């Protein structure tokens, strides 16, 4: 199957794996303040607190399992090899469900990086980073996370990929975090766009172009994948 499919995921796809979303009630930001743990300023003024926050996220991620939505996307990739996943998530549940071609916009929780060179990554064993450990280049390691207010280095590539989509499937994102949220605008006018979320995000001028499927990811994604396979295979 030659269709180019772009799957764009947010925190909602991992919610049913037990990983909290950021903005829903009971979400992570009700327990932490962004400015305390997830900004360049926070890293400079209280890095131990940032490390602790991401240690907890990493511990939760390693304890979680991929769900039926992650597995359905892997099935989609098997039928449509030109399927690219672009995720805002820092967890590794797409990869652990067997998916490939996963582009992380906001970093990866299982990795640390040099402060001098953002591309110098180190895989962390286990869940716990000990603040003060150094990269081989001498700088203190920081979580491989794009903090709020930092550039999103993979965004340019993500836009290129989105601009070639025949089909775009958007799952579990409030479309509140920019620039990621603007990825939809890069899909060609001819692209079919689907959005799966139990709550309808504000789509503005895109409302007419998007097939909104009001469902949880574990219900909506397998059903859409089966429908696409039946339609195009
Ligand atoms: P968000 O918290 O702003 O929005 C979550 C969206 O998921 C909402 O629209 C909500 O209605 C929807 N949702 C809730 N339960 C769902 C379900 N069962 N199935 C499908 N959708 C469901 O998240 P966002 O838009 O991804 O943006 C927030 C930022 O938070 C991202 O940058 C991301 O990196 C980060 N984040 C990542 C993780 C993770 O890696 N698992 C978890 C929390 C936050």
Q: What is the CATH number of the domain that holds 41?
A: 3.30.1600.10
In this structure, the answer to whether residues 216 and 156 fall within a common structural domain is: yes
Tens digits of pLDDT across the chain (233 residues):
689 999 999 999 999 999 988 766 666 666 778 888 899 999 999 999 999 999 999 999 999 999 999 999 999 999 999 999 999 999 999 999 999 999 999 999 999 999 999 999 999 999 999 999 999 999 999 999 999 999 999 999 999 999 999 999 999 999 988 888 899 999 999 999 999 999 988 887 788 899 999 999 999 999 999 999 999 98
In this structure, the answer to whether residues 193 and 226 fall within a common structural domain is: yes
In this structure, the answer to whether residues 30 and 136 fall within a common structural domain is: yes
pLDDT value of position 37: 87
pLDDT value of position 29: 67
CB distance 11 to ligand 1 below 6 Å: yes
pLDDT value of position 27: 65
Distance CA 123, CA 176 (A): 29
With b for 16 or more beta-carbon neighbours within 10 A and e for fewer, the 66-89 pattern comes to bbbbbbbbbbbbeebebbbbbbbb
Question: How many domains would you assign to the chain?
Answer: 2
168 neighbors 187 (Cβ within 8 angstroms): yes
pLDDT value of position 92: 98
CB distance 145 to ligand 1 below 6 Å: no
Give the residue from 212, 223, 227 showing the smallest Cα distance to 170. 212
Distance CA 132, CA 59 (A): 19
Nearest 5 degrees, angle CA 188-CA 75-CA 107?
A: 65
CB distance 88 to ligand 1 below 6 Å: yes
In this structure, the answer to whether residues 25 and 55 fall within a common structural domain is: yes
Query: Ligand 1, from 8, 11, 15, 69: best to mutate by most atoms within 8 Å of Cβ?
Result: 11
In this structure, the answer to whether residues 95 and 156 fall within a common structural domain is: yes
In this structure, the answer to whether residues 51 and 157 fall within a common structural domain is: no
Domain that holds residue 3: 1-17+66-106+151-233
Give the residue from 69, 75, 101, 74 showing the smallest Cα distance to 173. 69
H or E stretch at 113: strand 107-113
In this structure, the answer to whether residues 11 and 76 fall within a common structural domain is: yes
Take residue 165 and report the two structure tokens written for it.
């989509």
Q: Which of 84, 119, 145 marks a domain boundary?
A: 145
Distance 138 CA to ligand 1 centre (A): 35
In this structure, the answer to whether residues 200 and 175 fall within a common structural domain is: yes
pLDDT value of position 15: 96
CB distance 102 to ligand 1 below 6 Å: no
pLDDT value of position 176: 87
In this structure, the answer to whether residues 94 and 56 fall within a common structural domain is: no
In this structure, the answer to whether residues 121 and 49 fall within a common structural domain is: yes
In this structure, the answer to whether residues 13 and 26 fall within a common structural domain is: no
Q: Quick check: is 44 catalytic?
A: no
* pTM for the whole structure: 0.95
In this structure, the answer to whether residues 127 and 233 fall within a common structural domain is: no
Q: Which of 145, 170, 196 marks a domain boundary?
A: 145
* 31 to 34, 37, 178: CA distances (angstroms): 10, 11, 22
Q: Which of 106, 130, 135, 144 is catalytic?
A: 106
């Amino acid at each position: 199957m030659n269709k180019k499919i772009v799957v764009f995921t947010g925190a909602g796809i991992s919610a049913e794996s037990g990983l909290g979303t950021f903005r829903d009630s009971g979400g992570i930001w009700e327990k932490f303040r962004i400015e305390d743990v997830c900004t360049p300023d926070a890293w400079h003024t209280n890095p131990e607190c940032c490390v602790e926050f991401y240690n907890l996220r990493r511990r939760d991620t390693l304890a979680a399992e991929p769900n039926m939505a992650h597995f359905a996307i892997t099935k989609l990739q098997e039928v449509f090899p030109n399927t690219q996943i672009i995720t805002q998530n820092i967890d590794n549940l797409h990869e652990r469900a067997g998916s490939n071609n996963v582009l992380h916009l906001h970093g990866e929780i299982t990795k640390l990086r040099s402060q001098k060179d953002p591309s110098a990554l180190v895989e962390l064993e286990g869940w716990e980073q000990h603040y003060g450990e150094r990269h081989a280049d001498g700088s203190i390691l920081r979580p491989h996370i794009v903090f709020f207010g930092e550039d999103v280095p993979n965004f340019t590539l993500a836009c290129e990929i989105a601009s070639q989509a025949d089909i775009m499937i958007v799952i579990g994102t409030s479309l509140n975090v920019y620039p990621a949220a603007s990825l939809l605008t890069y899909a060609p006018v001819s692209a079919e766009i689907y959005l799966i979320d139990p709550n309808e995000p504000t789509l503005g001028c895109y409302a007419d172009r998007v097939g909104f499927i009001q469902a949880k990811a574990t219900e909506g994604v397998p059903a859409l994948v089966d429908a696409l396979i039946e339609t195009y295979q």
